[in-house]
A and B are shown apart, each in its own frame.
Chain A
Amino acid sequence: MDLITVREIRVASTRDEVVFAPGERPLGGGTWLFSEQQDGLTGLVDLTGLGWPSVTETDTALSIAATCTIAELSRLTPLVLRTGERGPSRGSQGGSPLFWQCANSLLASFKIWNVATVGGNLCVSLPAGSMTSLSAALDAEAVIWTTDGGERRVPVADFVTDVQSNVLAPGEVLRSIEIPRPSLTSRTGFRRIALSPLGRTGTLVIARLDATGEVVFTITGGTRRPVQLRFDELPNARALEQSVLAIGEWYSDAHGASDWRRAMSALLADELRIELEGIA
């Protein structure tokens, strides 16, 4: 929708131009910003003109620019793995199905993916933001441009602090997320449930079994912010259930009541435990 309070949009082409007056915010794809009236918003600084390469590989990480579109990210999953949501757990040899699974976890259709960005999804910081699910589950780091011209790093699992709330200080910009290579070679399992077959996420659980034997369950959607449960080895059913049920901050909205989300998280986590047990 037209943002009637916006008086100026600047397209930044260098970091020097990434500066914000009061009432101004960074603009990624815009698919969320332009979907609701934004009270008090007077200007936007468009980051998509900065020319950040969408995906960069380093020795230690896969770096995904904040301006990488969801469509580009989804294609990081090889064609053969782009199947239904509940695909089998797979390791790195054939690539990760998670990019595709998490893109399809968005309420937004593939048309939105052509414009929406990974960073935008993280920065909106909704519980159902599945780019948060993806990057938190893979222990990715958020690279943040600070206002003094430097940068700082935060685990994505800590980036979102509550519903539509995150660690970005005024003037800070999310530059990229960096997924450590070991996470990409881990086995993962994915489960999601919503109130309708393709509805907005009620809860989303990703399990990751590292080469070290460590197992990480990451819960998003059902909770107000990402919650990670780490185990040195695959936990038994009771231990896992207790850990999930002990989580304090279940979310309740039009996409599911909190008691159901809590129970579904435990159920899905257990399904993943059994799945990983078969592999381990």
Chain B
Amino acid sequence: MRFSINGEPVEIEPEPGRVLRTVLRDLEHFEVKKGCDAGDCGACSVLLDGEPIHSCIYPAHRLEGAEITTVAGLGTPDAPHPLQRSFVDAAGFQCGFCTAGMIVTASTFTEEDREDLPRLLKGNLCRCTGYRSIGDAIHGVSNTESAVAGEAIGKSVTAPAGMRVATGREEYTLDLKTTALLHLAVLKSPYAHARILSIDTTAALALDGVHLVLTHRDSPSTLFSTGRHEHRTDDPDDTLVLDPVLRFRGQRVAAVVAETVAIAERALSLISVDYEELPAVFDPELARSPGAPLLHPDKGDEQRVAAADRNTVAEMHGETGDVDAAIAAADAVVTGTWRTQRVSHAALETHATRGWLDAEGRLVLRTSSQVPYLVRDELCHIFGLSSDAVRVFTARVGGGFGGKQELLTEDLVTLAVLSTGRPVQYEFTREDEFTVASPRHPMRVSVTLGASRDGTLTAMAVDQLMDTGAYGNHGIGVMYHSVHESVSVYRCENKRVDAQSVYTNNLPSGAFRGYGLGQVIFAIESAMDELARELDIDPFQLRRLNAIVPGDTMVVVDPNEKSDLLIGSYGLDQCLDLAQSALERGNSVETPAGPTWSSGTGMAISMIATVAPRGHFADASVTLLADGDYDLAVGTAEFGNGTTTVHAQLVATALNTTVDRMQIRQSDTDAVRYDTGAFASAGVVVAGRALLAAAGALGELMLERAYSMTGEHGRIVDGGVQTRSGLVTASELLEAGPLTADGSHDGTPRSVAFNVHAFRVAVDSATGEVRILQSIQAADAGTVLNPEQLRGQIEGGTAQAIGTALYEEMTLDGEGRVTTTAFRNYHVPQFADIPETEVYFASTFDGLGPLGAKSMSEAPYNPVAPALANAIRDALGVRPHELPMSRDRLWRLAGDGWREPSS
């Protein structure tokens, strides 16, 4: 059949059952993205004869005579469509994976349509921004500015990749052609707990087009963890590439490598497996109790599993002072138990890896990862390879949020490439993201607080239980972190913490924005709100009375704990004032009329360390180029966090030039010696400091070179070194040899950042509906390096947290089967769901961060759910104890009065 793409005629005969999106990507129109593959997210939107459609659900057999227009057909970087320009100027994207579909969709809007965006954009999901900046882009509002040489810091400059993203030119993980590519598909366990007795792959191997079938017999015997950290010993060794014991539904049983995805998937049904079903446990309370089926009975200290005989991968029990006595003596005591749900990262780009052998026989993996160096090192450990035999890199990553601090696809691709010698790709489906990838840990958190009449917190007891699922990836780190800054932000003489991370036969949980803090902060800040009510003290004031101030030690349960965590700058007081005054100022949004509507206000605070503990390392280099540009090499990844923009700003400022002079190479194990990776919000504060060090050193080298050439002391300017007698240009400086400098940072000591969120809401007791009338967040991020980007991070974190608080819930059937496996059944916030948030910045300068800055990627998420819960409590008169605070739950609460939530 014949049709056209962006005016170019094409002639193809698509296979039956193919969709337009596959046809377009096969023809190297990589600007058309695959986000959900089900018509829910809109990343694949194209115009068909001028009308917008979702190409992932459009049958390709109907294309005869069609005119298809993609985002690349709307404009080019040199001649962009007005919307492409305005998405860049408005900073209307973060990871950018949704942007092509957004722009294509919005390109069909009339003036009138622009007033109807919530309805018209309900088929376009953005997981990063919170939509405010997307609305700005469509309305032509510019939020960015340019900066003259040396003055980029503090300016809202645009992301370097902006125009490439907006015109569909920026490459993501799978946006490239690889010849002779094979595809990998996985046979998944139909049982929550089973042992493979026998497995016969003969029929699958015999299928035409099948190259390889991998089973546990092919697996390396080295245990590892899919969760990745600087120290591999931070996670338990409890996982194999392919394991004869299956511990959750969906776990890999076997993998087929074939010419096409379709052939590989067809071959899966030809694999014959005999299973011995084993008893399973799905409730962490039961799993840690005597008599429960054991998931990892053969593991112990050596694998860093705390108590395999009670399914406990990690636990912590500690006390300072005497909590029971303090509670007995307290004037006010509040207690409660809160529950949080599983949440999917829902990054629009799914996990995926493409691997091949390069000309030298080296294994090369292009993967959607936040941690390419950690992936490389662990693959070397698993497969017994030397680190120079493996290169791991990323293109632009389509969203992460912690979900890609995980080794989920790379190991199978490695095994397949090493076995076949051929390029192999493994791409998660959206269903895989829900059933196999690691969601936020669900937690049960009990909190008891005691206080004296004057509001002094005298007792704090936290009892946390989390379901780590079938494997312990991040199950240790999340547990410790969840009870750290949430507890240590308060001064209190008597504190007790009990925490347990427990294996069950549910899918494994993992790292997610906030790394456990959000769940425990929901409980503690809800309890603090209840305490303020009990004491009749303003909730802002109760925090002022009890939150740490400079000079305080941050204590969880050990006042003498050695720590590199310091208060490098303190802006919590400002954040409290900013949020409170904004709430008191109010806005013009009114409570809906009607006898069943009531309104209320609520707030919560959060603190977070600016870097992960026990070392986070970054190397960077900066090189002068002959035209006066600079080559920046940095290991950390860009997945919408905006670190690349800030890196350009830091170096441009240090070298007194403009950001357009920065040519950045990143997230490639070939780029620099090492980088721990893009997690714990470290991209700015660790890699940024490494780059600043490199830039400073390069500046010194340039001045020395100029002096040696001219005998004059100069200063760095745009294009070279300015001396009294004239400009020594970059190319002149380089005549005597290259000029390059390295820098590094070890991520210690660490500082803390603060966030305060406040809401005014209306709640309809008749339906359970919540309307957010005012949303406010104040953040202490130290020096604000890029105000618009920082605002975007705060809005995006707030939007994700509103999703967690009101809408999102992965449901399981009680037997380990995930029942929400598509966006249509898992409500990622839409444009219509997210109110505008007023964002305020504290004015502080952090002694430990680059140019005084602190990290602010995870932090904005953490105070939102409790602030919203506290506002709902204020409006409804009943306290929610369970997330999400969905309409059906709130309706029940309103009707029944106070009661413990059902489990």
Contact = CB atoms under 8 A, between A and B. Distances in A.
Interface of A: 1-9, 11, 27, 30-31, 34-36, 43-44, 46, 48, 104, 107-112, 114-115, 193, 195-200, 202, 253-257, 259-261, 263-264, 267
Nearest to A267: B766
Given A1-B19, A4-B261, A108-B123, A256 B887 contact: yes
Contacts of A110: 52, 119-120, 123
Contacts of A1: 19, 37-38, 56-57, 429
Contacts of A255: 825
A197 B118 contact: yes
28 contacts: A1-B56, A3-B17, A9-B59, A30-B57, A30-B58, A34-B56, A34-B57, A35-B38, A44-B16, A107-B824, A109-B42, A109-B123, A111-B45, A111-B52, A114-B52, A195-B807, A195-B887, A196-B829, A197-B118, A198-B833, A199-B827, A200-B824, A202-B888, A254-B819, A261-B888, A264-B767, A267-B766, A267-B767
B819 A111 contact: no
Contacts of B819: 254
Nearest to A8: B16
A196 B56 contact: no
Nearest to A30: B59
B61 interface: yes
A4 B327 CA distance: 63
Contacts of B120: 109-110
A267 B33 CA distance: 42
For the complex of A and B, the 7 pairs showing the least CB-CB separation, nearest first, are: A109-B123, A6-B17, A260-B888, A3-B17, A4-B262, A34-B57, A1-B37
A141 to B, nearest CB: 29
Interface in B45-63: 45, 48, 51-54, 56-59, 61-62
Contact of B888 (A107, A108, A256): A256
B59 A46 contact: yes
A219 to B, nearest CB: 16
Contact of B54 (A104, A112, A260): A112
Contact of A5 (B17, B52, B105): B17
B888 to A, nearest CB: 4
A44 B57 CA distance: 15
B265 A4 contact: yes
B57 A31 contact: yes
Given A254-B811, A260-B768, A264-B767, A2 B888 contact: no
B832 interface: yes
Contacts of B789: none
B675 to A, nearest CB: 36
B181 to A, nearest CB: 16
A196 B807 contact: yes
Given A9-B61, A256-B888, 12 more contacts: A1-B37, A7-B17, A30-B58, A35-B822, A44-B16, A44-B17, A109-B120, A111-B52, A115-B58, A198-B119, A254-B809, A259-B892
B19 A34 contact: yes
Contacts of A200: 824
Contacts of A253: 825
Nearest to A111: B52
Contact of B61 (A46, A195, A196, A261): A46
B830 interface: yes
Interface in B1-37: 16-19, 22, 37
B381 interface: no
A6 B886 CA distance: 39
A34 B822 CA distance: 13
B826 interface: yes
B266 A4 contact: yes
Nearest to B888: A260
A196 B888 contact: no
Contact of A198 (B39, B57, B118): B118
Given A9-B59, A9-B61, A254-B826, A111 B123 contact: yes
Contacts of B811: 254
Given A111-B52, A112-B54, A193 B767 contact: yes
B17 to A, nearest CB: 3
Choose among A2, A35, A48 the residue with the greatest number of B CB atoms under 10 Å from its CB: A2
Nearest to B118: A198
A263 B889 CA distance: 13
B832 A197 contact: yes
B887 A34 contact: no
B715 interface: no
B767 A34 contact: no
Contacts of B119: 104, 110, 198
A157 B366 CA distance: 53
A7 B16 contact: yes
Contacts of B118: 197-198
B888 A198 contact: no
B383 interface: no
A65 B105 CA distance: 28
Given A112-B123, A196-B833, A9 B887 contact: no
A72 to B, nearest CB: 12
Nearest to B46: A111
Contacts of B826: 254
B663 interface: no
Nearest to A110: B120
Contacts of B52: 110-111, 114
Contact of B820 (A27, A112, A202, A254): A254
A260 B891 contact: yes
B673 to A, nearest CB: 42
B232 interface: no
A9 B16 contact: yes
B806 interface: yes
B138 to A, nearest CB: 15
A48 B826 CA distance: 31
A196 B59 contact: no
Contact of B39 (A108, A193, A263): A108
A112 B51 CA distance: 10
Nearest to A199: B827
B19 to A, nearest CB: 6
Contacts of A4: 17, 261-262, 265-266
B122 interface: yes
A3 B21 CA distance: 13
Interface in B844-864: none
A3 B59 CA distance: 10
Nearest to A255: B825
A8 B37 CA distance: 21
Nearest to B57: A34
Nearest to A114: B51
Nearest to B101: A111
B603 to A, nearest CB: 24
Contacts of B827: 195-196, 199, 254
Given A48-B62, A197-B832, A112 B39 contact: yes
B294 to A, nearest CB: 32
Interface string B118-154: 1111111000000000000000000000000000000
A196 B16 contact: no
A220 B799 CA distance: 31
Contact of B886 (A3, A8, A195): A195
Given A108-B123, A193-B767, A198-B832, A31 B17 contact: no
Given A46-B62, A196-B827, A111 B54 contact: yes
A257 B886 CA distance: 10
Contacts of B887: 193, 195, 202, 256, 260
B62 A198 contact: no
Contact of A11 (B61, B261, B265, B891): B61
Nearest to B771: A197
Nearest to B54: A111
B600 to A, nearest CB: 20
A8 B17 CA distance: 8
A2 B18 contact: yes
A199 B833 CA distance: 9
A269 to B, nearest CB: 13
Nearest to A1: B37
